[in-house]
Amino acid sequence: MGSRILSIEKTTDNRFLNMYNLHYENKMGNKKLYHIASRGKDAEHLKINTRKNDPDGVIIYSIYGEKRDRMVLVRQYRLSIDDYIYELPAGLVDEGETYAQAGARELKEETGLDFEPLQVDEMYHKPFFTTIGMTDESCATVYGYASGTVSAEGLEANEQLEVVLADRNEIRRILKEENVSMNCGYHMMHFLHHTEEDPFYFVRQE
């Protein structure tokens, strides 16, 4: 017999993120307590109960420039480390939005750039869990090309970020020297070493 959840207790009441106590019984029959964070507004909306992996957010892997030789990154201050970190543009999915719509909106808000999304097979942009040991949050990835002029007009007052249109030399430096989020780092490594003319060759439908 495996572990089973006995009850769920919400312990905070915030707009975007809340803490929950999971009271459970482990495989040895001992009663235990586990803590998770979730973007679910109440216990009913936790993925434990919905059994649906609907994405909380989107991560935007976008390429910029006529030569398709620069990757759109953001260098953002994060309170959790009291420092700046390089990330892909990202944000929450609003109710009723598709992944592509959310990606275009978030890219515009964070960078001022326009977004032309790619149509890809479901397995490439299905939601993946971000940090499963701490949260049930999941994010979908959208792929496409960015164009236009960088602008900070869409940023919220508490957002501290710089848009970086990084070529391969800058990506190499960032990977060696800077704080980088995991999903951003993996995509940067891919972009750094791909040998095809089309940087999105790996998600093209056959």
Give the pLDDT means over successive 10-residue stretches in the chain (206 positions).
Answer: 92 96 96 97 96 96 94 96 97 92 95 95 92 97 96 85 96 98 95 81 74
Predicted local confidence at residue 158, as pLDDT? 83
Which residue shows structure tokens 């800058």? 170
Closest CA to 130 of 77, 69, 186, 177: 186
What is residue 2's predicted lDDT score, i.e. its pLDDT? 83
Residue of 151, 155, 48 whose CA lies nearest to 91: 155
* CB of 59 closer than 8 Å to CB of 142: yes
Contact (CB, 8 A) for 117 and 143 = yes
Question: What is the model's pLDDT at position 177?
Answer: 98
pLDDT at position 206 is 57
Per-residue pLDDT, 108: 96
pTM here?
A: 0.92
pLDDT computed for residue 40 by the predictor: 95
